[in-house]
């Protein structure tokens, strides 16, 4: 089969096909899109750059098919027989593997992926999802408020735990390790788990509210499993994993092991795939596959703050976390990156109430410190949900007033 043979505009995708949407930019503008898109379909299924003597007639039903071309956009259907159920590395190695290295393509971007129900059901998906997380934390009618211990690296265990306690005591539901805090000598994993969970319990006793600590288990896979077990054995409720640096197999292993832990997915390194608009793998794809693998809550951008995605991109990421995907639970979106109380009204306008506001510097950078910073963030949420402006609410809430003065613009 030649590349052009993989293009068939009359093809009607089957309900069992996997559908991928690509944006293709040629190196040579004289090359037709039929040939280029056909090359992507061929090289990600049963074809290659030349005709083969080893082809068999029965293989043709396994060919991926380009069924729609619109400008530089191509939709490609993949027969379900191409993939091993429950094996995401196999699926991604096919649709997003060698095709990115094809010399005839200047740029290639995987914009979206849709898997059929037959493949979706081969994955466990989130164990908790939005409803399970809310049941655990016992917060139902507002966004969850969280922070990241800052500085992200360098604090000794006792000081790390003290920052976490102050955040919980001030009103945070969630405290999180940052993505590059592992088990460094200044803050060893086991000591940090025990000491910080003790402070979580202290905050729960004092406030009467449920609190959770998102503990980073990112490591070699067997060590990661050991750390997850350590968290569970010591009464932790959440394990955090850097999904891309650990890899799809590691995420699968962690989910499939059967821990009774919420899985928090950090997307560290995602911009290496997602940031260029004309090349790489778009964040909606990462959101979809993370949900398949069992991630209960996932960073999706902010549209405000310091991250690069705009509102349309973030809203698409949110939709991918929540839209119907077989029988899988929805994943809770997390907004994180340069956030402070002034951003709260915009965030709630974008996300609704089913998300986590994860603010680091916007809490710890409050002039009165972490505890007051956490209170100010909760006040910003309360004000917005009550239909008041932040300035109106701040007139009788000094914590928020000081935050607004400290961060005069959104």
Q: Which residues are catalytic?
A: 150, 266
Burial class (CB in 10 A: 0-12, 13-18, 19+), 260: exposed
What are the start-end ranges of the H helices in 294-343?
311-322
State the maximum Cα–Cα separation within the chain, in Å, rounded to a whole number: 80
- Spatial contact of 335 and 344, defined as CB atoms under 8 Å apart: no
Number of Cα atoms under 13 Å in the Cβ half of residue 122: 13
What are the start-end ranges of the H helices in 6-113?
33-43, 88-95
β-strand partners of 22: 74, 110
Residue at token pair 């129900």: 117
The alpha carbon of 294 is separated from its chain's Cα centroid by a whole number of angstroms, namely: 11
- Spatial contact of 189 and 183, defined as CB atoms under 8 Å apart: yes
* Residues 136, 130: Cα–Cα separation, whole Å: 10
Cα angle value 305/308/314 (rounded, 5°): 85
């Amino acid at each position: 089969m030649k590349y052009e043979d993989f293009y068939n505009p009359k093809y009607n995708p089957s309900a069992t096909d996997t559908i991928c949407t690509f944006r293709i930019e040629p190196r040579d503008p004289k090359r037709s899109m039929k040939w280029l898109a056909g090359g992507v379909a061929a090289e990600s299924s049963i074809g290659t750059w030349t005709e083969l003597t080893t082809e068999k007639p029965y293989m043709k039903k396994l060919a991926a098919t380009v069924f729609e071309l619109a400008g530089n956009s191509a939709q490609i259907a993949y027969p379900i027989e191409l993939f091993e159920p429950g094996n995401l590395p196999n699926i991604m190695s096919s649709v997003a593997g060698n095709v990115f290295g094809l010399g005839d393509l200047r740029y290639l971007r995987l914009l979206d992926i849709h898997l059929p129900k037959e493949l979706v059901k081969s994955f466990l998906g989130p164990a908790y999802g939005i409803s399970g997380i809310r049941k655990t934390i016992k917060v139902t009618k507002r966004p969850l408020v969280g922070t990241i211990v800052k500085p992200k690296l360098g604090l000794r265990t006792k000081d790390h735990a003290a920052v976490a306690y102050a955040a919980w005591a001030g009103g945070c539901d969630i405290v999180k390790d940052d993505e590059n805090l592992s088990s460094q000598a200044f803050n060893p994993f086991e000591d940090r788990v025990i000491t910080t969970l003790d402070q979580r319990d202290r905050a729960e006793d004092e406030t009467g509210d449920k609190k959770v600590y998102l503990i980073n288990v990112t490591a070699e896979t067997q060590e990661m499993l050991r750390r997850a077990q350590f968290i569970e054995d010591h009464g932790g409720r959440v394990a955090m994993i850097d999904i891309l640096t650990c890899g799809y197999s590691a995420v699968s292993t962690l989910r499939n092991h059967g821990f009774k832990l919420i899985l928090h997915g950090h997307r560290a390194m995602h911009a290496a795939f997602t940031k260029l608009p004309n090349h790489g793998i778009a964040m909606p794809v990462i959101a979809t596959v993370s949900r398949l693998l069992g991630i209960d809550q996932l960073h999706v951008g902010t549209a405000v703050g310091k991250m690069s995605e705009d509102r349309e991109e973030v809203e698409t990421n949110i939709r991918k976390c929540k839209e119907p995907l077989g029988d899988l639970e929805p994943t809770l979106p997390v907004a994180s990156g340069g956030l402070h109380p002034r951003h709260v009204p915009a965030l709630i306008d974008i996300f609704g109430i089913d998300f986590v506001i994860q603010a680091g510097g916007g809490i710890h950078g409050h002039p009165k410190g972490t505890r007051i910073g956490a209170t100010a963030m909760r006040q910003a949420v309360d004000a917005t949900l009550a239909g008041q402006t932040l300035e109106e609410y701040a007139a009788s809430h000094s914590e928020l007033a000081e935050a607004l003065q400290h961060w005069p613009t959104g």
